[in-house]
Structure 1
Amino acid sequence: MSEPQTRSVQQLMDLSGRTALVTGGSRGLGLQMAQALGEAGARLVISSRKANELEEAAEQLRAAGIDVTPLAVDLADEDAVMGLADRALEVLGRVDILVNNAGASWGAPAEDYPLEGWDKVMTLNVRNLFLLTREIGRRSMIPNGGGRVVNVASNAALGGNRDFMQAVGYNTSKGAVVTFTRALAAEWGAYNITVNAIGPGVFPSKMSRYLTDRHGVEALAARVPLNRVGDEEDLKGTVLLFASDAGKHITGQFLVVDGGASAMIAG
């Protein structure tokens, strides 16, 4: 009896013939991850709230030879979440990889934190993330015998901040995403579905603009052992690992990508 043939690293990371839905895929971290999955061969649906930004992102991906369909959706709305699940399955036929990247932040001291801000981040970052994952899981991944869920949390899930960033709702929501990731991984492993989370640190983006404007990029980089903030390549390898067969025995994990910032002890 012959030994089973092992695949090369390139073969393990090849996503040819697979499909992926990336939320918040029009810019920043979402576009970076969509680019990685598309370059590895996946057919994509990307979603975001603003149609013009989404179409620009789609054109950028198509110029790189990537098969992509943009769908403008406001994922703060429950009906829109269900509609995205419908349309993504209609376009792709099945969703093998779900990257939950869409999210919101709200900054304020805890004693002044408005309920409006709390509800906004909890709805988009936790409630509707769960809803989309549930729908894709039960309507595509479970019936088709497997899949990959990649949730984008944050290194803010590990604790709080005092002077640097006051965003108790955001930090709490990202902590919930990590626990959701682990709980779902435990349940859905039986269906050959892996569920993992990425915890980015500071990356230049629209969401982090408040921090970069307030503190400056150089000051933020000085808080990081690698002495820099994230760039346009730093999430590509991580998302490809979690989305491909290279990570087929990894589930329930939270991988922080922050240049070592979370490894430091506050002094």
Structure 2
Amino acid sequence: MSYENLSGRTAVVTGAASGIGEALALRLAADGARVALLARRADRLQALVEKIRADGGEALAVAADVTDDASVAAARDLVHETFGAVDLVVNNAGVMLPNPVADGRLDEWQRMLDTNVTGVLRVIRAFGADLVAAAGAGRTADLVNVSSIGAHIPFPNYAVYGATKAAVTYLSQSLRTEFGPQDVRVTNIEPGLTETELKDHVDSTELSGQLDGMLEAIGALSPAEVADVVAYAASRPRHVNLRQIVVLPTRQA
């Protein structure tokens, strides 16, 4: 099902080269939005843009790294030059690097914090004024942050990842007190087990096996199913904010 009121919207999706981000790009474009795709892998982005255009949509590939201030600023400038201001921002870029805290993997901790937390803030800094201006002009404006059920449910060896996602969930909650009075909606999406490339980041054979076992026993959401939830939230009347959505496979407690 498509929702007509995404026509005329201009969206930014981070982490758009694969998984949920790729599915979001396809879905939002199919529902009528112009979509700027941000990720590090330029070749994957370009292939996705070509697919969207072949299906009659509008898309722009923007090679960008959310951990780099200058890269995000350059991405903002390119989006503005090509599409103008945006009114839908989806913070989807993220990394999941599980290991016991006792291993002291400072490199992994820093990467997760810089991508999952500070990266979200960089994107909000880049495009937040666009959202406020769109809402001020009477249009619908959405900030959507993709968190995780791991923000609430502890998993052994995922403490730092879960902490970064808890930060995103809290940030979303708090931002509603700043953006809500300006008519900008903030939606926090918390998926459970989802079939994405995140599992490929796991460098421990034991932990990778555990994750595969969970996926086999419980089943996983597809990226398109998570994208459907985002598209639904963004397509509601502008005074309706679906503020917090947890989406899980039915067998995941």
TM-score by length of 2: 0.88
Q: What letter is aligned with 2:21?
A: G
* Corresponding residue to 2:221 among 189, 213, 230: 230
Deviations 1:53-97 (A, max 9, x none): 111221222222210000111111111112222222222111010
- Aligned to 2:5, the other structure's residue is in SS state coil
Quote the Cα distance in structure 1 between the aligned partners of 2:186 and 2:233: 8
Alignment of 1:116 onto 2:113:
no
Q: Retained in 1: the 8 A contact 2:95–2:198?
A: yes
* Corresponding residue to 1:143 among 106, 126, 133: 133
Q: Retained in 1: the 8 A contact 2:96–2:199?
A: no
Q: How far did 1:130 drift? A: 1.1
- Find the counterpart in structure 2 of residue 159 from structure 1: 153
Deviations 1:73-132 (A, max 9, x none): 111111111222222222211101000011112221011132221111111111121121
Cα 1:141–1:70 change in 2 (3 A) is same
Q: Which has the larger radius of gyration?
A: 1
- Aligned to 2:198, the other structure's residue is in SS state coil
Quote the Cα distance in structure 2 between the aligned partners of 1:87 and 1:199: 30
* Corresponding residue to 1:78 among 44, 52, 69: 69
Q: What are the residue-to-residue correspondences of 1:1-267 with 2, within 5 Å? A: 13-138=4-129, 140-144=130-134, 145=136, 147-162=141-156, 166-209=157-200, 210=202, 213-215=208-210, 217=212, 219-222=214-217, 224=218, 228-246=219-237, 248-251=239-242, 253-260=243-250, 264=253
| Greater fraction helix | 2
CA RMSD of aligned residues (A): 2.2
- Aligned to 1:45, the other structure's residue is in SS state strand
Q: What letter is aligned with 1:193?
A: V
Q: Retained in 1: the 8 A contact 2:72–2:123?
A: yes
Q: Retained in 2: the 8 A contact 1:149–1:196?
A: yes
Q: What letter is aligned with 2:161?
A: Y
Q: How many residues align?
A: 245
TM-score by length of 1: 0.84
* Percent of aligned pairs sharing the same letter: 28
Deviations 1:153-204 (A, max 9, x none): 1111113212xxx122211000000000011112111111000111112222
Q: How far did 1:26 drift? A: 1.4
Quote the Cα distance in structure 1 between the aligned partners of 2:16 and 2:71: 16
Quote the Cα distance in structure 2 between the aligned partners of 1:167 and 1:64: 39
